[in-house]
Amino acid sequence: MTTGLSPAQPRALVVDDEPALADVVTSYLSRDGFEVEVARDGEAALRQARTFDPDVVVLDLGLPGIDGIEVCRQLRTFSDCYVIMLTARADEVDTLIGLSVGADDYVTKPFSPRELVARIRAMLRRPRAAATREPEAAPAIAVGDLTVDVAAREARVAGALVQLTRTEFDVLAALASRPNAVMSRGALIEAVWGGSWVGDEHLVDVHVLHVRQKLGDTAERQRYVRTVRGVGYRIGTGE
């Protein structure tokens, strides 16, 4: 997996079989200082991702051959880059499936390329890996047998490392760092995605669902991430 700091010029891989759309997105990203490569199908996307090592992948859901969902699933086996899904279908099931394989965000067509670039920039401002830690970093947070090490960007349950995507970790860390607070969707959006993010706040619910699944929680047994009905979420007690 990719580790360490992003290079001075961030890299973006645009994966779309519509040349006009890919060209527009590429143009906006290039003007914003990105080094950009384009792939027209899923097979090419996976090959280029291995050699180009992008910081972010803009990935169309409806690709010919290997679709965006399968590309994302395979991408997550060797890269921790951010993934933004593009979909022409506002169908909630497609969105949930896409995010369940490790996408960080999604945009429904038609969309504003300027907004897309703003979302990408907001994601890249987040801390990336243990190499970014400060010498005097805050201690790890313990919740029962769950440990959240914000400096190392690691979560462990009973000592076993939990494989979270960057966004899933950021959601968990935001909750764990406020142990006595209930965070609304809006507050989590502000903490994780930033104040300039625009989109469907129910994105938070999907990421919380995935965090729970990976921590071994369920909707009925909420040891680590609890729902406060009508308000939002809070970190649990581990019991």
- Helix 42-52, helix 68-75: angle, nearest 10: 30
**pLDDT score at 202:** 79
Fold held by 11-124: Rossmann fold (3.40.50)
Look at the block and give the residue holding tokens 């706040």. 201
Domain 130-235 of CATH type 1.10.3720.10: no
**pLDDT score at 198:** 67
Among left, alpha and beta (phi > 0; psi -120 to 50; other), residue 94 is alpha
Mean pLDDT by 10 residues, the chain (239 residues): 56 94 95 95 94 94 89 90 86 70 85 89 67 51 89 89 89 89 89 74 86 88 89 88
Residue 54, burial from CB neighbour count under 10 angstroms (0-12, 13-18, 19+)? buried
State how far the Cα of 140 lies from the Cα of 152, in Å rounded to an integer: 9
**pLDDT score at 132:** 37
Q: Which residues of the chain are in CATH 1.10.10.10 domains?
A: 130-235
List the structure tokens of 232. Answer: 């939002």
What contacts 235, CB < 8 A, 6 or more positions away? 143, 175, 176, 178, 179, 224, 225, 226
**pLDDT score at 50:** 94
Q: HEC string of the chain?
A: CCCCCCCCCCEEEEECCCHHHHHHHHHHHHHCCCEEEEECCHHHHHHHHHHHCCCEEEEECCCCCCCHHHHHHHHCCCCCCEEEEEECCCCHHHHHHHHHCCCCEEEECCCCHHHHHHHHHHHHCCCCCHHHCCCCCCCCEEECCEEEECCCCEEEECCEECCCCHHHHHHHHHHHCCCCCCECHHHHHHHHHCCCCCCCCCHHHHHHHHHHHHHCCCCCCCCCEEEECCCEEEECCCC
Q: Which residues of the chain are in CATH 3.40.50.2300 domains?
A: 11-124
**pLDDT score at 2:** 45
